Structure 1
Amino acid sequence: MKSRRMLGVAAYGIAALLLISACAGDGSPDGQTTSSGVAISTDARDRQGEVVGTEPGLEQWAAALPAGTRTTRIVYRSTSGVDGAGTAVSGAIFIPSDERRPDEGWPLIAYAHGTTGISRDCAPSDRPDMFGDLTAVDDFLRRGYAVVTTDYQGLGTRTGDTPPHPYLEPHTAAYNVIDAVRAARSVEPDIGPEWFAVGASQGGAAAWATAEQYASYGEGSGDLVGAVAVAPLLDATYLVDNAQNGHLTTAQRYLYPLLVRGVAQSDPQVTTIDHLPAGASPTAAGSCPLDGTALATQPAAPAADAFVAVTPAAAEHLRTTVGSYALPQESTEVPILAFYGSLDDIIPPDVMQITLQRGCSVGDQLTRVRRERQGHSLDPGPLMAKWMSDRLDDAPVPSDC
């Protein structure tokens, strides 16, 4: 048997992470509810992770990844955290060459991508370079991990008439990640029982939410042994506050339109005209052009005072809704490794420190790592690889709480 200590994640550039269906089920609620109190439909409960369709990975992936890698694009069933209905979500599976397969099967990384946009043309698995994420997938494969990616509900062109993408809604993100793992196991029997949730920015929040929801939703997905959250956007209420005060940084002014429009897609009481300047560009609306993400291709951001809500009531409702998405929400037994940068101009380090302290307050096994002189697109370095390898080796779980 190959030593699990040989399995690690390269100290890859997280900038690559950030470069950033069948119809909803008709089943009636059966009494099972999400931790937010939303009833899960019978259809969703019975079909979690069910594979709707598969097709070979894109030719460009084969050319860029290690020889012998098996790639499959998938559509699978999942659950909306907004209303508990069954949905369909797209994603992809990547399996290393068989010649290095451990006896117990490949450990799996469930990778949650950072912010790309909020419309159907923003799915990484529909793009030849996965909006830069293919670099991270390549590093994971070379270190001996299988990888499954999710595009999240509402992103992707292969899923039929799906509900929209509820940006930063944590239950949906967690269910999409966990069901991607179930789907990967049904397609690829060489995947072993142990898996990680890994992501950055929006994906970092998704990885954290996955850790929280694993106990109630993760049965049958295998053993989630750890979550890695890099610059996770856990609580965006500060963005709403900064918008009302005219204090959004330049980077935050690019992100804020996606936050507003993404929240509006799941809360009809949030209307974009109450929060965004008139004449916003199409990419500011959350769509992804052929040459990049909605974030990367926006024109110059409006002035900071352009985002003040039309009424205090509108601002308060948006803040309340965004606050209902905020993490941490509950304790988890899953160990979490969280990185943040001292020069992050999207999530200020003082905001991140306060948010992470809430994880300690609820009793999480949390390791917090501050990277000095690094921003939102930070590099976690070799510590990430060592921490993950230790989880596979059943080493004592560290916590700095």
Structure 2
Amino acid sequence: MQKRWKSAVMACMVAALPMTAACASTDTTEVPASTSSGVAISADARTGRGEVMRTDPGLDTWAATLPDGTDITRIVYRSTSGVDGAATAVSGAVFIPSDERRPDDGWPLIAYAHGTTGISRDCAPSDRPDMFGDLGAVDDFLRRGYAVVTTDYQGLGIRTGESAAHPYLEPHTAAYNVIDAVRAARSVEPSIGSQWFAVGRSQGGSAAWATAEQYADYGDDTGELLGVVAVAPLLDATYLVRNAQDETLTVAQRYLYPLLVQGVAQGAEQVTPADHLGAGVTPALSCSSTGTALATQPAPPDAEAFTAVTSAAADELMDTVQSYALPREHTEVPIVAFYGSRDDIIPPDVMQLTLTRACDVDDRVLRVRREGQGHSLDPGSMMAKWMSDRLAGQVVPSDC
């Protein structure tokens, strides 16, 4: 799972961003994560979870890249908004390996959650010839005998019709989208077995972690979630808001911050982007014909351009981002989290403190630090081994 995962992630989140040699100093006193339970789910949303609303063929570029015999279906399925509990339409794709190798008990499934692409409808990986680089990861998973379902997340996708906006990093929405993708995948392909994993990087790592926390309440009838793989997960972005007020955002963080502000505002009407993005900050919200919105951001101004206009505005944004922070509650689902010692988006001291909170709520977490690697780190062969061990029923390792 190493080479192709690595080639895929190099196109993910920050591969196109200038990286500085060292991280700005951070306040290592983390704001505790909110324990908010989210909004009530409407009856309409709950009864329709995972219903497939539309199917389309896979793209020709996918078929040319993936192993011969791969069955590919693009889908639009019903899910739930974590912002208001209403039913939503979300796009994604289902990939099934050649039937010649199907296990007797069905294909184990990977629900794959992508990293930050953008926050507008034209930023869905399932509408792109290379899935913004994630096609390599899908290829690797298929070759290792997994079926794969991907979600574009609520608000990203041109095949969904008019849909609710993308609430960037809102954990309930992300978890519901991942879990309902599993329901949809089984509806499309009965050969998928009962065991599955949630795997994601950066924004997707947060989505996968949220999936673990919401599985007990929302994941009924999806089978057995054996584990979560979170690679450089953006679990708690409060440090970015704090760094913006302290004028200590790194260059890489300044590329991300406009998308964070705009994306959070799409799910929280109390946040006004103009209060946080000064003169000269004109972020690219849409994806281009060749790249993500993140990769095509204009060169950011100096750090002082991102301080809030008032302390009240800063507090409002901080409170909202804090309400999205993970970990927030105990999960029985085992998790392995990979992070880099030279990550200029999520400094390692921030990641270490965030992961410590998972231990504080008695999660079973294995924390793996990759020395010398940054945000687009390669988890290496340990990722594949950890997953195969879960399939084999091995004892779950934890370093909490």
What is the TM-score normalised by the length of structure 1?
A: 0.93
* 5+ residue gaps, structure 1: 1-8, 21-33
Q: How many residues align?
A: 378
Confirm or deny: 8 A CA contact 1:198 1:228 kept in the other structure.
Answer: yes
Distance 2:63 2:41 in 1: 38
Matched, 1:245 2:238: no
Query: What is the CA distance between 1:12 and its match in structure 2?
Result: 3.9
Distance 1:182 1:338 in 2: 25
Q: Secondary structure at the match of 1:333?
A: coil
Distance 1:61 1:103 in 2: 27
**Match of 1:334, as an amino acid?**
V
2:16 is matched with none
**Match of 1:19, as an amino acid?**
C
2:183 is matched with 182
Distance 2:322 2:45 in 1: 26
1:267 is matched with 268
Matched, 1:158 2:176: no
**Match of 2:8, as an amino acid?**
A
1:290 is matched with 289
Query: What is the CA distance between 1:213 and its match in structure 2?
Result: 0.3
Query: What is the CA distance between 1:15 and its match in structure 2?
Result: 6.0
1:16 is matched with 8
Q: Secondary structure at the match of 1:354?
A: helix
Distance 1:15 1:361 in 2: 35
Distance 2:47 2:249 in 1: 44
Distance 1:197 1:331 in 2: 17
Q: Secondary structure at the match of 2:100?
A: helix
1:231 is matched with 232
Matched, 1:379 2:388: no
Distance 1:386 1:359 in 2: 22
Distance 1:163 1:324 in 2: 20
Matched, 1:334 2:333: yes
Distance 1:179 1:129 in 2: 23
1:258 is matched with 259
Query: What is the CA distance between 1:299 and its match in structure 2?
Result: 1.9
1:80 is matched with 81
1:130 is matched with 131
Query: What is the CA distance between 1:37 and its match in structure 2?
Result: 4.0
Matched, 1:389 2:381: no
What is the TM-score normalised by the length of structure 2?
A: 0.93
* 5+ residue gaps, structure 2: 14-34
Confirm or deny: 8 A CA contact 1:89 1:156 kept in the other structure.
Answer: yes
Query: What is the CA distance between 1:62 and its match in structure 2?
Result: 0.3
Distance 2:78 2:351 in 1: 33
Confirm or deny: 8 A CA contact 1:11 1:385 kept in the other structure.
Answer: no
Distance 1:137 1:193 in 2: 19
- Measured against aligned partners, the alpha-carbon deviations of 1:302-338 in whole angstroms (never above 9, x if no partner) come to 1111100000110011000000000001000000000
Identical-residue share of aligned pairs (%): 75
Matched, 1:114 2:115: yes
Query: What is the CA distance between 1:214 and its match in structure 2?
Result: 0.2
Distance 2:58 2:279 in 1: 40
Comparing 34-43 with 108-117, greater Cα deviation is found at 34-43
Confirm or deny: 8 A CA contact 1:10 1:140 kept in the other structure.
Answer: no
